[in-house]
Structure 1
Amino acid sequence: MNPIKILVVEDEVIVAQDIAGRLKKLGYAVTATVSSGEEAIQKARENQPDLVLMDIVLKGDMDGVTAAEKIKTNMNVPTVFLTAYADDKTLQRAKLTDPFGYIIKPFQQNDLRVAIEIALHRHEIETKMQEALKAAEAARESLEEKSHRQNHYISMAAHELRNPLNAILISAELLELARTRKSDESQVRTLRLVHSATQKMNQLIDDMLFMGRAESGKLKCNPLPINLVEFCQDLLDQLQLGNEGKHKLTLVPSNVTSAILDQQLLHGILSNLIVNAIKYSPNGGQVTLELEYRQAGEVDKEAIFCLSSECLLTNSPFGNIHAPLLIMRVRDEGIGIPETEVEKIFEIFYRCQNTGKIKGNGLGLTIVKKAVELQGGAIACESKVGVGTTFTVALPYVALSCRIK
């Protein structure tokens, strides 16, 4: 066990040497003996003592009271005052610094030991109390933040669900009118509107449930063998059907056909990225999904940023990865993301300033990020306003270590 370190501040050299000698006999380590307040502050900063023995009356511009106050404020080191005499004003000032003890000169060696041990014990207790208070405050703030998020979820859900609900109600009324008029075409259009509104409601509910499970730590990862080409082509076909041919969706499978991944999480990643690509691209634009297998250590010249300190990728090229990777890229020819906002797009509810009247709730990319991290992967974005955006996702080819972050 390391000895307790004590800084002695005393402007009488003989007295200082005597105190230092007594401290060493008691088993303490003397970091230094200094004679001024300025020196005391400097040595306390350099040596980080456990306690300071400080003479109240010191020669020079700074007395012991001022020096003790600065040491306590800046370094949280307790002070025990040494005093033989002092005027009432100085003593009152000394009390305001909340010292951890006084020793009246001349003193016995045992008095010195008792004063030091009591001061150190009191300081330890106060430090633990302060840490406990900080922890309690942090927990309170965390609970308030979670409560705020939950309220935000509820408010957003109420707002987002109102539009499709209104659409369904209006559609029901139109169907009632169309029933008497026997207009098949009108009924088909109205049914499509109902179907679209219902899909939006279901998607929003799924997104809210996903975020709720992620926030509560209940989101699980279940990796299973999956035929990637079939999975991705089916997803694109479904989205193409809902898109009514306004965009061209293309799959580029490359050298990978299968992997071991969580199918639900993979669906959440790709569907959100592709839907965003469609949403923020002009009609007639092309959206491409590329799949690629990377052997461990293969170098990719694209530098990407990593969203988690524990994820596979760092702020360096893919070449530092020591495991096989599945690389997925979703490219579009859309409005792009402003350079100043790229690092914010994964924040919950964040929407870029150039989205204008394009509807969205700011949850999609947050869901993508969580689904990627849960499988031990990473995601990057490259975008240019007016040209398009590419999202690159890297996942372990065999997702064996799924986890929540």
Structure 2
Amino acid sequence: MSLPSVLLLGAVLATLWIAARSWTLPVFPGRTDFVLMQLSAAWWSTAVAVESMVPAPADKLFWAEMAWMGIVCTPSLWAFFLWSYTRGELPARWRLVLVGVGLVTWAAALTNDAHHLFYTAIRPVDAEPGAALVYSHGLLFYAITVYIYAFMVMSIVVTASGIHRATPAYRTHYLGFLVVMAVPWAANAGYVFGNLTLFDLDPTAFSFLMMDGIFYWLITRRRLFELLPVARDALLDAVPDPVLVLDGDGTVVEANPAAQALAGDHAAIGRRLADLPGLSALSTMAFAISAPVSLTLDCGGTPRSFEVTWVPLTAGGGGRKVGRLLMLRDVTHRRQAEMRLEDTVRRLDIARLEAEERLVAEQEAKRALNGFLSMAAHEFKTPLAIIDGAAQILLLDAEVKAPGMLPRLEKIRRAVRRQVNILETCLADDRLNDPGFALRRDRLEVPALLRAAAAAQSDAAPGRRIELDLGDCPERMTGDGPLLELCVHNLLNNALKYSPTGTPVRLRAWSEGEPDGRSHLALSVADQGIGIPDDELERVFDRFFRASNTGAAAGSGVGLNMVRRIAALHGGMVTADSRLGGGSVFTLRLPLCEVALCQDGMAGMSAD
């Protein structure tokens, strides 16, 4: 056994002992990476030691290849440890990536005889038995070297940034990192680029073991991994809100940059809180308060709002009070937002009250208008009935005495009927809009109702023909007679209005059975008129909607909407099928049983 192997194996044992001690230390960021790095360095050094002991060149080459697992993992785990210690713990999955790269590299090294990407040739340094080997390196060796150097550069950058951020009291920790890192970096660079060796071996393994020894000294003598002081200092600096630590006499012993800025140009540390112009108002507060208290401070002539919290600091198991922690949370913007919100809510409340008053006034006006319209409709019906009666008497007399007056008298009667239909629609709409509305339950003779409606519409449109198909029409049903009659009138009136002269309108009624055993009255009104555009067919039942091709034809857009609402109240529905220029078919389906009638008046019904 040679001196290099003895030294290496002794260093390996020391490294394993240090790894075990490190694992028993209190948890610190990067502990797992640090211990794995020591184990990886121990693997590497053990392989180098065995390489120096075996005499055959083939055996030496084998152990040189075995070392690659440690060669790849040691620098990368070291970089991960530094990152975790200075910037926060890395996820475990990244550690698995490093180990995976190490295993792949190890497998490639062990199969070097097949590709010679690691070592292209080997030769002993001299003719002595068991002499060390000199390796000629292949392309993969240099690629892995670049990979390792990338992690070493990362270690330097991370450590340098840690020095920049650390307070003076803790910068020695990071300087220690840099000093330790310089050892393996210099050793490896000397071996790769200058053929520097130690006992004819790569000195990098020795340097990593020496690095472990230095770290052990830093751990035991410099208390390197006592992280809490470092973390607390970094946390205090990172908090954006002012934080102060006071001793028992009210003297500021620590203050973060935000608190120092709040104190103005005066140095806060070492002075009593009452002597600091920007913070003197805090000294008058009760120190026992632990819940946040609102306070406004004058900061350079600008008032700022804070939530102030006092936290007592105790030492030892007896709870002896040694000072207080003062935390100020700047809530200026929140207070301003709350004031704006309160003002907005106040104005919204005023607007809501005004809107409610206007709504009440509008409802009163609407009720008054509806009452007037209902009264006016009733009042108009009486003189219209008188006019129609007088026209009928004149018709009887004109048949004998003045036949030439007959067309004029018929025109009067048609005009009266149109006005009566408009009034009936207004009255029905008023009735449907009444919150207390309830359907009538009349026993209706369906064929008679349909014939009467067809006759009335024929009288109103002389020369027009309505064809009736009532062969399968049910005899009776239960429903609101006036409303259903109005539905038929509206459907027939629309069909006659938009059909060309000389074309018939067909009214058909039949009974339909449903799978649940209930029966429906199906009523269709078909015309050969102008039809409805496809993109407007779905809106034809909307209130006040009129198709774009209706032209100058009279209409309000209320009738079909009323048909849909009346059908829904009876538990039925109305549908439209139309082809532009080819006529329309409106189909009304109503249940024949009384159970389907709406029980809650107009509850849930929309006029739209």
Q: TM-score, normalised by structure 2?
A: 0.37
Contact 1:252/1:288 (<8 A) preserved: no
Greater Rg by CA: 2
Picking from 297, 310, 314, the partner of 1:106 is 310
Q: Does 1:198 align with 2:416?
A: yes
CA gap 1:127/1:184 in 2 versus in 1, 3 angstroms: same
Residues 255, 148 of structure 1: alpha-carbon distance in 2 compared, 3 angstrom cutoff:
closer
CA deviation map 1:61-87 (0-9, x unaligned): xxxxxxxxxxxxxxxxxxx99889895
Alignment of 1:276-295 (within 5 A): 276-295=494-513
1:164-179 → structure 2 map (5 Å cutoff) = none
Matched, 1:328 2:546: no
Give, as a single letter, the amino acid of the residue that structure 1 aligns with 2:310.
P
Change (3 A) 1:183 1:129: same
CA distance in 1, matches of 2:476, 2:438: 21
8 Å CA contact 2:466, 2:507 repeated in 1: no
Q: Are 2:589 and 1:394 aligned?
A: yes
Cα distance change of structure 1 residues 205 and 133 upon mapping to structure 2, 3 Å threshold? same
Q: 1:132 to 1:341 in 2, by over 3 A?
A: farther
Candidates 517, 536, 543, aligned match of 1:341: 536
Aligned to 2:488: 270
Alpha-carbon distance in 2 for matches of 1:191, 1:374: 39
> Structure 2 regions of 5+ residues with no counterpart?
1-230, 233-238, 241-257, 259-291, 313-340
Q: Secondary structure at the match of 1:294?
A: strand
Q: Relative to 1, partners in 2 of residues 1:141 and 1:257: Cα closer, same or farther, differing over 3 Å?
A: same
CA distance in 2, matches of 1:139, 1:365: 34
Quick one: structure 1 residues 387 and 252, their matched pair in 2 at CA, closer, same or farther if it must change by over 3 Å?
Answer: farther
Whole-Å Cα distance in 2 between the matches of residues 200 and 244 of structure 1? Answer: 13
Structure 1 residue identity aligned to 2:529: G
Structure-2 separation of matches of 1:146 and 1:326: 40
Cα deviation 1:146-203 (Å, max 9, x = unaligned): 958987997xx99xx9xx99xx8xx99xx9xxx9xx9713321221122122112222
> Counterparts of 1:138-157 in structure 2 under 5 Å?
140=358, 144=362
**Structure 2 equivalent of residue 361 of structure 1:** 556
- Equivalents in 1 of 2:520, 2:303: separation in Å? 70
Give aligned-pair identity as a percent. 23
TM-superposed CA distance for 1:135, in Å, is 8.8
Deviation per CA, 1:376-403, whole angstroms, max 9, x where unpaired? 3222212111111111222222234333
SS in 1 for 2:492: helix
AA paired with 2:581?
G
CA deviation profile, 1:251-271 (whole Å, cap 9, x unmatched): 244263322122111101111
Say if 1:104 and 1:264 are closer, same or farther in 2 by CA, change over 3 A.
same
1:90 is displaced (CA, Å) by: 8.6
- TM-aligned CA deviation for residue 235 of structure 1: 2.1
Structure 1 unaligned segments of length 5 or more: list them.
Answer: 1-12, 15-34, 37-56, 58-79, 95-101, 109-122, 299-321
Corresponding residue of 1:49: none
Change (3 A) 1:267 1:145: same
Q: For residues 104 and 337 of structure 1, do their structure 2 counterparts lie closer, same or farther at Cα, with a shift above 3 Å needed? A: same
User: Which of 239, 245, 249 is equivalent to 2:463?
Assistant: 245
Q: Secondary structure at the match of 1:283?
A: coil
Query: Structure 1 pair 88/332, CA: closer, same or farther in 2 (3 Å)?
Result: farther
What does 1:43-54 correspond to in 2, within 5 Å? none
Distance of 1:366 and 1:142 partners within structure 2: 27
Residue 228 of structure 1, CA deviation: 1.5
Partner of 1:21: none
| Alpha carbons 1:379, 1:392 under 8 Å: kept | yes
Deviations 1:349-400 (A, max 9, x none): 3322211122223222132123222223222212111111111222222234
Kept after mapping to 1: 8 A contact 2:414/2:459: no
TM-score, length-scaled by structure 1: 0.53
Q: Is the 8 A contact 1:377 1:396 kept in 2?
A: yes
Helix, strand or coil: the match of 2:507? Answer: strand
Aligned-residue RMSD, C-alpha: 4.7
Which of residues 472, 476, 487 in structure 2 aligns to 1:258?
476
* Between 245-254 and 185-194, the greater mean CA deviation after superposition: 245-254
Aligned-partner Cα distance in 2 for 1:366–1:89: 68
- 255-264 vs 380-389, which deviates more? 255-264
Contact 2:522 2:590 in 1 (8 A): yes
**What SS is found at the alignment partner of 1:106?**
strand
Q: Is the contact made by 1:331 and 1:390 (CA closer than 8 Å) also made in structure 2?
A: yes
Question: Hey, what's the Cα distance between the residues in 2 that align with 1:150 and 1:348?
Answer: 22
What code does the residue aligned with 2:540 have? I
CA distance, structure 1, for counterparts of residue 592 and residue 501 of structure 2: 34
**2:513 and 2:479 mapped to 1: Cα distance?**
17
Match of 1:230 among 426, 438, 448: 448
User: Which of 383, 388, 393 is the matching residue for 2:578?
Assistant: 383
Q: Do the aligned residues in 2 keep the contact of 1:328 with 1:394 (CA within 8 Å)? A: yes
TM-aligned CA distance change 1:107 to 1:147, over 3 Å: farther
- Whether 2:556 is the aligned partner of 1:352: answer no
Instruction: Answer yes or no: is the 8 Å Cα contact 1:226–1:260 preserved in 2.
Output: yes
Residue 505 of structure 2 aligns to which amino acid in structure 1?
V
Question: Quick one: distance in 1 between partners of 2:310 and 2:505?
Answer: 87
8 Å Cα contact 2:523/2:589 also seen in 1: yes
SS at match of 1:216: coil
- Cα distance in 1 for partners of 2:358, 2:555 equals 31
Shift, 1:91, TM fit: 6.1
8 A Cα contact 1:326 1:396, kept in partner: yes
Decide which structure has greater helix share: 2
CA offset digits 1:252-298 (Å, max 9, x no partner): 44263322122111101111101111111111222222223333337
Structure 1 letter corresponding to 2:534: E
Per the alignment, residue 425 of structure 2 pairs with: 207
Instruction: Give the Cα–Cα distance (whole angstroms) in 2 for the partners of residues 87 and 289 of structure 1.
Output: 87
Tell me which amino acid in the other structure corresponds to 1:291.
A
Q: Deviations over 1:98-137 (max 9, x none)?
A: xxxx7422279xxxxxxxxxxxxxx9xx999979975974
The one-letter code matched in structure 1 to 2:532 is: I
- Aligned pair count? 271
Residues 447, 473 of structure 2: 8 Å contact kept: no
Aligned residues of 2:531 and 2:583 also touching (Cα < 8 A): yes
Q: Which structure exhibits the higher relative contact order, with contacts defined as CA atoms closer than 8 Å and separated by 6 or more residues?
A: 1
Letter in 2 for 1:355: T
